[in-house]
Chains A and B, each alone.
Chain A
Amino acid sequence: MLSKKNLKLLIDPINKNNPITVQVLGICSALAVTVKMKPAFVMALSVIFVVGISNFIISLLRNGIPKRIRIIVQLVVIASLVIIVDQFLKAYVFDVSKQLSVFVGLIITNCIVMGRLEAFAMANSPGKSFLDGIGNGAGYGAILIIVSFFRELFGSGTIWNYRVVPQSWYEAGYSNNGLMILPPMALIIVGIIIWVQRSKNRDLIEKN
């Protein structure tokens, strides 16, 4: 269905060109929404939606957008999409929407969205842009889910709100790691992912 080149657009951002661990974009929301897996997953889906669709729309419009006002045009598109997502979440998953609070709205300022529009959608066909957007959103989402998995498991003893650390452990003296709930630990986990990724893909290591 997909040619090799198109598949590369989709797969590359998940690993070798990951927006968080390689391009180091969108870190702030990765720290904020990864305490629990469920909000992280919803956030991932929202970002995939916004990046994919906005890439597609901007790519359609790319030849008609005057160069000098392109940022504001991009912002209008992104903002409309984010509002759609926000309203959708409020309507169907209100509790998650409350947990994500301001961070759904802040997708507008997520550097990944802007970055992909500027770097890719403004210069490529709509089909390709759409795939690139989905790929980058998925790369962002993958990191979010990995980070939130560890934070929820060690910080709350649950996965997707199901208790996995048995009560008997707590009675035996085990206790949840409070640092996992705090944002610095998300940064450290992202750092460890970067470490693991780069020791596997040596060509990602920056020369200095």
Chain B
Amino acid sequence: MNFLRKTLDKVKPNFEKGGKFYFLHSTFDAMETFLFVPNKVTRTGAHIRDFMDMKRNMIVVFIALLPALFFGIWNTGYHHFLSIGEDPTFWGNVLYGLKKIIPLYIVVYAVGGAIEVAFAQIRKHEVNEGLFVTGMLIPLIVPADIPLWMLAIATAFAILIGKEIFGGTGMNILNPALTARAFLFFAYPAWMSGDKVWISGMMSGENIIDGFSGATLLSQAAAGSTNFVNGLGESLSVSDMFWGFIPGSVGETSVAAILIGAFILIITGVGSWKIMLSTLIGGITMGLLLNILEVNPYMALPWYEHLLLGGFAFGLVFMATDPVTAAQTERGKYIYGFLIGFLAILIRVLNPAYPEGMMLAILLMNVFAPLIDYMVIQSNIKKRIKRLQKINS
């Protein structure tokens, strides 16, 4: 630590006004504040000071995402070896997964970082830390085989149109990671949906054993079969779904790993438990409603299985709770979360064009979040005016 501090202090004058690297000052600033809590003190007004600044917040989310990432790496390899009929070893799976997923991260951080730094220089603000979590999230919500150039374009789109246009981190209306996924989903549907993309190596089609199916559980359900099977046709139990031995996007499959992340977010107060809880209730409500109606086998799917499938758990813990795009008022958070869960299951079951509704539900509610806040605040104002009139009369 001391060594780092000394090195930073030594090179710092070069980046200050008049130094030869002044044009890179925001980049330096980003590195410095990333490593150390900044020593800038506000001079006027009363402030509560806390070491939990935005960078520390982001690091908590980063740590919370690690279990899902590690499981995703293993799962990518596991399903690949399952599809080519080899007996997978633990390290074989992990190595294969790393080979697939590390390039995704390199592309996302390189493209996103370049745009972020360029904007910081042009608009003369600091390099924002938002990219740190966005970049961590994007590879977790795409299939492991997504072509890298598509990922690069989607990342650029998400950072530019999803975030920088609105003024950078903290000003965006839509969750940037989900914007990237939505872009991929609509722009390159062949690589983002269907029965082949979710198993790594299946799109190129080599050595796949006969009769192997890469259908996700949600597409099996949409096809009318709720006796879920894996690619080889062996049936899957609820505990398989919970632990995540199912095909899907990189980080979304294991509810167990996501729950560890949720625990970290709630304990540290970084993610709002209100949103998580209400999203859960929303999902359960819709699941139960569909169970009551029950006109096709998909609607009869038990409500708890809905929570374990697809991106529901991942979206609930990491996407819906994004503090920038979620509702800000405490009562608004309940409405916001409930509608996400409710709509996600609704889209999933009733709209055949979209096998998974979590992404669309969250993006839709992102758009409505300011409206919900407005409603909550207005109703509060009305309540207080009424109270005042009562006292006066």
Interface, chain A (partner B; CB < 8 A): 173-175, 177-180, 182, 188, 191-192, 195
Contact = CB atoms under 8 A, between A and B. Distances in A.
A175 B161 contact: no
Which applies to chain A's interface (DSSP): helix, strand, loop or mixed?
helix
Given A173-B147, A188-B161, A195-B165, A182 B186 contact: yes
Contacts of A175: 188, 190-191
B187 interface: yes
A195 B165 CA distance: 9
A178 B187 contact: yes
Contacts of B187: 177-180
A178 B165 contact: no
A175 B189 CA distance: 10
A196 to B, nearest CB: 12
A188 B179 CA distance: 13
A191 B189 CA distance: 24
B161 A178 contact: no
B147 A178 contact: no
Contacts of A179: 183, 186-187
Given A175-B191, A177-B188, A179-B187, 12 more contacts: A173-B147, A173-B149, A174-B149, A175-B188, A177-B153, A178-B186, A178-B187, A178-B188, A179-B186, A182-B186, A192-B161, A195-B165
Q: Considering the complex of A and B, which 5 residue pairs feature the smallest CB-CB distances, nearest first?
A: A179-B187, A179-B186, A177-B187, A178-B187, A178-B189
Contacts of B183: 179
Interface in B181-237: 183, 186-191
Nearest to B191: A175
B131 to A, nearest CB: 21
Nearest to B153: A177
Nearest to A154: B187
A188 B190 CA distance: 23
A158 to B, nearest CB: 17
Contacts of B188: 175, 177-178
B107 to A, nearest CB: 15
Contacts of B191: 175
Contacts of B149: 173-174
A163 B165 CA distance: 32
Contacts of B189: 178
A170 B168 CA distance: 35
B147 to A, nearest CB: 6
Interface string B129-166: 00000000000000000010100010000000100010
Contacts of A192: 161
Nearest to B184: A179
A191 B183 CA distance: 16
A153 to B, nearest CB: 14
A150 to B, nearest CB: 13
Nearest to B183: A179
Contacts of B165: 191, 195
Contacts of A195: 165
A84 to B, nearest CB: 39
Nearest to A182: B186
A175 B203 CA distance: 14
A178 B187 CA distance: 4
B216 to A, nearest CB: 20
Nearest to B192: A178
A188 B186 CA distance: 14
- Max chain B C-beta neighbours (<10 A), residue from A173, A174, A179, A188: A179
A175 B190 CA distance: 9
Contacts of A177: 153, 187-188
A168 B161 CA distance: 30
Nearest to A177: B187
A182 to B, nearest CB: 6
Contacts of A191: 165
Contacts of A173: 147, 149
A191 B173 CA distance: 15
Contacts of B186: 178-179, 182
Nearest to A173: B147
A175 to B, nearest CB: 6
Nearest to B186: A179
A100 B149 CA distance: 34
A68 B183 CA distance: 50
A173 B188 CA distance: 12
A119 B187 CA distance: 41
A115 to B, nearest CB: 27
22 contacts: A173-B147, A173-B149, A174-B149, A175-B188, A175-B190, A175-B191, A177-B153, A177-B187, A177-B188, A178-B186, A178-B187, A178-B188, A178-B189, A179-B183, A179-B186, A179-B187, A180-B187, A182-B186, A188-B161, A191-B165, A192-B161, A195-B165
A180 B183 CA distance: 10
A182 B149 CA distance: 21
B206 to A, nearest CB: 16
Nearest to B161: A188
